Amino acid sequence: MTGAGVCGIRALGSRLITEDTLLQMAAAQDHRAGGGADVWLGPGVGLARSRRAAGPHAPLAEVRPQPVRSADGRWVVVLDGAIVNRTSLRAYLDRPLRGDDAELVAAGLALQGIGFVERVEGRFALVAHDLRTGTTHLVRDRIGALPLHYRRVPGGVAFASEVKALLVLGPPADVDHRSLDAYLAHRTVPAPDTLVEGVRKVRPAHRVAVMPDGHLEETAYWAPPDADPEGTWTADDAVESVRDGVREAVRSALEAGAPPGVHLTGGIAGSVVAAQARQLLGDEPVHTFSLALGDDAGEELARTRRVSDLLDTRHHDVRLGAGDVAELWGPLTWHRDAPLSGPADLAAHVLARTAAEHVPVLLCPQGADELFGGHSRHRLARVAERSYGLPAPLRSGLERRVERRLGATFTTSERRRLLGRKAPPERRASPVAGVRHTLPDDVLERLDRMATAADLEVRLPLLESRLVELAFRLPSPVKVRAGCTTWVLREAARPLLPDEVLERRVPEPGTGSWWYAGVRDTVRERLTGPGSWVAQNLDGAMVGDMMLRHEHGAHEHDRIWTLLSLELWHESFFATVPAVPRPRGAVHRTATGAARLS
């Protein structure tokens, strides 16, 4: 997940696209690369892709600038990210092992057409324009590791890695009130919607075709396999397959040759990734990084330091205290393009910023809980999903009971009171949707934006395509046994980790209230004052009662975070002079410009 940034416009009719407009879009997301942008203009279409700035932590040099054109002249491609199965694709295309990933995709499109993307594995967002048909294809990787958005503007359709690049052209944007129900439920908005009216995300494993007449056609090009019938896998076979899959996934993440770091979490996933990397690299040092939230987290750091000692890694403790919250919340909201969903956003950036001082690449263990059943709420979500076949009154009653257990910040009735209306049926948040969309729309979005802000490349070995498919094929009884979460992953790790690590039970993460001290002095004014967007658009009496309960000892910090984060996001993107920290590595304030199709 190394950010570079792609953008472009598909113009309709006689509208013209200027190079200046594309450069303004690219400049809005220049922090993803820092080295300017390359532009290509064709009939009714313009594409741009950011260049990586030179530096000690930049990835391997790119073979040639993008966009690239296929040898037959039909396809023009811009690509952000990396293809991980390039060797097998080159064998399929019978091409020598040279050239970059964008050239490889262009060669595949020339041979097979847009269907070639079904063969591509990795973490990427790509745009492919077909000069023969005039169709522009927006394609996002299978798990949604890298972002891609689009928006209708006067005279065309604009697309970009980040939302902010779409806001420099077209009419002024506004909050999409239809998406507020989903945000208040889960602190994120599931794709394809966003909190910005008219801006949509390309869904993971989907492509969106922009036709010459402006029609948009969305197609799913990949779906995870169904679980194999129970009895297909013995426990031993499952453990051996997962062990082999993890080893090959970590090996693939290490292949680029950059000295790695590993995010060493308190759970099993971080430990197994660090242990596997340590084994594969032999005498080469492995840096590990652990993060503690709040000012009193010595116990957690001691646990991860113990794992580091057992694995003989070069370990670094990172702390995020209450005093960091006020400083980082505004600038990182701008980077995220959305309200920060929790202190984990701040934590991810502080961790990435520290890691970038030592390594250019960080291996992160995200995905284990979703793939191998690590959190009770994932199992509860499956139970709730099966309830959809029940009669409506029974289903409604079950949803109310499980909403909070599934992590809903505000229940359905609370959201209706806050908003003063029911959400549209097509935008109404369900208890299960928040769990299902947590990985791509929260966790992976957070990692991309927070690591990009720190100029760090993140790789996700446990979300490698073949390991993902294996995990989906495994029936639940071999993933979770006798109440032991991630059982198959734990057993697969036994040759690598001692029992004291494997048998440790780590509590499920929560927001906690430690961060509140950093914003206590301003939170009431921001949420209830005369200039507050939250106060003007949500039920003021309910918000005031919530604040009063919190001040008298009730635990309302999760709800306060949700509303305060929404307020700060609105200030960042919709204030008269939005707060926009532009240059990489620095934070200052300036005003966004505006560009239009000419």
Which residue type sits at 356?
A
593 — pLDDT class (breaks 50, 70, 90) = very low
Residue 338: what pLDDT? 97
Answer yes or no: same fold for 6-220 and 235-373+438-502.
Answer: no
Percent of the chain topping pLDDT 70? 85
Question: In terms of DSSP H, where are the helices of 387-485?
Answer: 392-403, 412-419, 431-436, 438, 444-453, 465-473, 476-479
pLDDT tens for each residue of 91-103: 999 988 677 899 9
Determine whether domain 235-373+438-502 maps to CATH 3.40.50.620. yes
Residue 255: what pLDDT? 78
Question: In terms of DSSP H, where are the helices of 113-168?
Answer: 163-166
Kindly report whether the peptide bond that precedes residue 204 is cis, defined as omega within 30 degrees of 0: no
Residue 582: what pLDDT? 43
Contact between 412 and 423 (Cβ < 8 Å)? no
Domain at 6-220, CATH class: alpha beta
**DSSP-derived pairing of the beta strands 314-320 and 287-293:** parallel
Residue 575: what pLDDT? 77
Residue 524: what pLDDT? 92
Q: What is the mean pLDDT of residues 164-193?
A: 94
Distance CA 526, CA 533 (A): 8
Least confident of 24-33, 379-388, 393-402: 379-388
Strand arrangement, sheet containing 206-210: 68-69, 75-83, 122-130, 135-140, 206-210, 216-220
**DSSP-derived pairing of the beta strands 314-320 and 122-130:** unpaired
Would the pLDDT of 324 be above 80? yes
Number of helices (H) and strands (E), helices first, in the chain? 25, 17
Residue 521 or residue 401, greater confidence: 521
595 — pLDDT class (breaks 50, 70, 90) = very low
Average pLDDT in the chain = 86
72 — pLDDT class (breaks 50, 70, 90) = very high
Partners of residue 319 on adjacent β-strands: 292
Residue 590: what pLDDT? 26
Strand arrangement, sheet containing 199-201: 34-42, 45-52, 6-11, 156-160, 149-153, 199-201
Residue 123 or residue 586, greater confidence: 123
pLDDT tens for each residue of 502-525: 887 665 555 578 899 889 889 999
Q: Calculate ∠ Cα 460-462-468, nearest 5°.
A: 115
**DSSP-derived pairing of the beta strands 149-153 and 156-160:** antiparallel
Would the pLDDT of 561 be above 90? yes
480 — pLDDT class (breaks 50, 70, 90) = confident
- 230 contact partners, CB below 8 Å, separation of at least 6: 475, 477
Residue 577: what pLDDT? 47
Least confident of 157-161, 178-182, 382-386, 589-593: 589-593
Domain boundaries, the chain: 6-220, 235-373+438-502, 376-422, 519-567
Percent of the chain topping pLDDT 90? 67
Residue 598: what pLDDT? 36
Output the pTM of the full model: 0.90
Q: What is the mean pLDDT of residues 218-238?
A: 95
591 — pLDDT class (breaks 50, 70, 90) = very low
Residue 432: what pLDDT? 60
Least confident of 286-290, 574-578, 594-598: 594-598
The residue among 320, 319, 314 whose CA lies nearest residue 262 is 314
Residue 387: what pLDDT? 47
301 — pLDDT class (breaks 50, 70, 90) = confident
Q: What is the mean pLDDT of residues 433-441?
A: 76
